[in-house]
Amino acid sequence: MTNHPEKRDHERYEARQTISYRLTSSTEYKKGTTRNLSKTGFLLESDETIPEGESLDLSIRIDDTPVHFKGRCIHSVQPDAGPALSGVLVLKISTAGMVPFLSFIDNLEAQQQTNRSAMDNVVQRIASEHKIITQYVMVIQGILADAKTGSSSMELETVLDLMQKELSTHFYIEEKLLFKTGLIHLPAKFHGLIAELTHEHSELETALNQIIEAVQGLEADEGILAKGLDVQIEDYLTSLKHHATRELMELFPILESNEKAVQKLTQAVGEIVNG
């Protein structure tokens, strides 16, 4: 048992949901309850203390849809009274359950955003989009890791199609809201950065389309590892993460430090929220 503060990268939302889980070293499923949830993890209440580092198979129902997870206990606490508390990191979500689960978290987030300012909402919306994309990256990496044992290319195609839709929406919001505001209100010396990021959007969309076409073109007896497709996908994910890092580390701080840009974004988001 380890007793230390919980560390996480993504905001969690209070939600009590019944969840079935089993340690991968066991065949017995047990019941627990989530205390909070995010797209990448949750706090689990259970009758037993789950060992730190233990791998877990988990299942939760979202709107009558079973969502299956693979996760890992990253810390556990046994209070003097009450259930044990375990922080669970989500490693992989079933393809069929990904959309309902992410939508459920989005709804929890939307409820919390009603008490935030318009500017907070746009920051949270874009941050949420980045979190969703991060989740897709994790799932795809999991599929590639399983490819050596015969993971289905159909599963990969499904996840890539879903990620393509998310990226298209994400890029549109950034270009029409953030980038446009930056071009109008930021000094000209930053316009080159915005142009580069816009060009990267186009390159990333084109590259993803090519990957999806390649996956669709696989023969029945060809696996994901055929034709170096796994390397191509890994390179794409690296480029996507590099692009997201540039936005977060280079552009966003500049926008946030510019009063006129902040005012314009606040006004624009206010019109969206109220319109």
In a domain, 156, yes or no: yes
For the whole prediction, is pTM greater than 0.75? no
Q: Are residues 195 and 258 in the same domain?
A: yes
Residue 4 pLDDT level (bands cut at 50, 70, 90): very low
Domains in the chain, number:
2
At 138 the pLDDT is: 80
Pairing type for strands 18-23 and 30-37 reads: antiparallel
In a domain, 70, yes or no: yes
Q: Are residues 87 and 138 in the same domain?
A: no
In a domain, 105, yes or no: no
Percent of the chain surpassing pLDDT 90 = 24
Q: Are residues 161 and 57 in the same domain?
A: no
Q: Are residues 240 and 171 in the same domain?
A: yes
At 11 the pLDDT is: 64
- 190-216 mean pLDDT: 94
Q: Are residues 185 and 133 in the same domain?
A: yes
Q: Which two tokens stand for residue 129?
A: 């989009």
pLDDT tens string 217-228: 887 777 777 778
Q: What DSSP string describes the chain?
A: --------SS--EE---EEEEEETT-S--EEEEEEEE-SSEEEEEESSPPPTT-EEEEEEEETTEEEEEEEEEEEEE--SSS-EEEEEEEEEE-HHHHHHHHHHHHHHHHHHHTTS-HHHHHHHHHHHHHHHHHHHHHHHHHHHHHGGGT--HHHHHHHHHHHHHHHHHHHHHIIIIIIHHHHHHS-GGGHHHHHHHHHHHHHHHHHHHHHHHHHHT--TT--TTGGGHHHHHHHHHHHHHHHHHHIIIIIHHHHHH-HHHHHHHHHHHHHHHH-
In a domain, 5, yes or no: no
Q: Are residues 37 and 84 in the same domain?
A: yes
The answer to whether residue 119 scores a pLDDT higher than 50 is no
Task: Residue 78: give the domain boundaries.
Answer: 13-94
The answer to whether residue 242 scores a pLDDT higher than 70 is yes
What are residue 69's DSSP bridge partners? 58, 93
For residue 57, the domain's CATH number is 2.40.10.220
- 75-90 mean pLDDT: 84
Residue 209 pLDDT level (bands cut at 50, 70, 90): very high
The answer to whether residue 23 scores a pLDDT higher than 90 is yes
- 231-259 mean pLDDT: 86
Segment of 27-36, 149-158, 249-258 carrying the highest mean pLDDT: 27-36
Amino acid, single-letter form, for residue 50: I
The answer to whether residue 98 scores a pLDDT higher than 90 is no
At 166 the pLDDT is: 84
Q: Are residues 70 and 126 in the same domain?
A: no
Q: Are residues 121 and 83 in the same domain?
A: no
